[in-house]
Amino acid sequence: MNPVADDDAISGSVLAEQPEALLRFLELYGTLWSHGRLPQSVKEVARLRNARVTDCAYCRSVRFEGAVDDGLTEDRVVRIDDDYASADELTTREKVAIRFTDHFLGDPGAMTDADRAQLLEHFDTGELVELAAGVALFMGFSKIAVALGPPPEMPVTVVPTPDWPPQP
């Protein structure tokens, strides 16, 4: 069993130098995670794919509690790798989300009609907006962690899922 961290690494970071921006970010991020339409496991797969590609040590090590409760166990997480397309442990929807994340991070203007058709087969419009907004935030804030000084390597740690308003 992984430990459940009870501190908030984001609020305790250098981002606290801009408290109003931090507050607004936490509102958006908590809404996306805990009040969205997409299952948390799908968002977590996309977040962890981004963490791997962006190479953010902190983001790679964290697991959100809601996604773990949603069934995203470590034997599934390890399959978010180069060979994800052949992983029986991942659902088709999760694989499509990974492919979307790769396009987003690599060349967001290069999706084909077949890519778009596949996305629309597995997600409705509102879910796609949520997925794209999520990956935008995952990537952006992974890059912040890397750019402002990466935290040391840490063990896999389960943390509470971001929520808004924050849960006591």
Partner 1 sequence: MSTWLPGVTEGSSADTAGLGAVLGLRPDLYEPFREFYAVFWRDRLVDPVVLELCRLRVAQLLGCATELRVRYEPAVAAGFTEAMAVELSRWPTSDRFNPAHRAALAFAEQFVIDPKGIRGQVRDELRAHFVLPEVVAITEALALFDGFIRFRMILGVGGAPDTTTVDPTALDSPLP
CB 157 within 8 A of CB 64: no
Site for partner 1 in 104-163 (CB under 8 A): 104-105, 108-109, 111, 116, 120, 125-126, 128-130, 132-133, 135-137, 139-141, 143-144, 146-148, 150
SS3 content of the chain, % helix, strand, coil (to 5): 60, 5, 35
Q: Closest distance between partner 1 and the C-beta of residue 167, in Å?
A: 17
Q: Closest distance between partner 1 and the C-beta of residue 72, in Å?
A: 22
Amino acid letter, residue 122: H
Q: Closest distance between partner 1 and the C-beta of residue 45, in Å?
A: 17
Mark residues 40-59: x for contact with partner 1 by CB under 8 A, - for none: --------------xx----
Cα angle 85, 87, 90; round to 5: 95
Give the Å distances, CA to CA, from 12 to 17, 19, 22, 33: 10, 11, 10, 19
Phi, psi angles (nearest 5°) of residue 159: -125, 160
Q: Closest distance between partner 1 and the C-beta of residue 92, in Å?
A: 20
Q: What is the DSSP letter of 4?
A: B
Site for partner 1 in 68-107 (CB under 8 A): 100, 103-105
Q: How far is CA 158 from the centre of its chain?
A: 13
- The residues of the shown chain that bind partner 1, judged by CB under 8 A, are 14-15, 17-18, 20-21, 24-25, 27-28, 31-32, 35-36, 54-55, 100, 103-105, 108-109, 111, 116, 120, 125-126, 128-130, 132-133, 135-137, 139-141, 143-144, 146-148, 150, 164
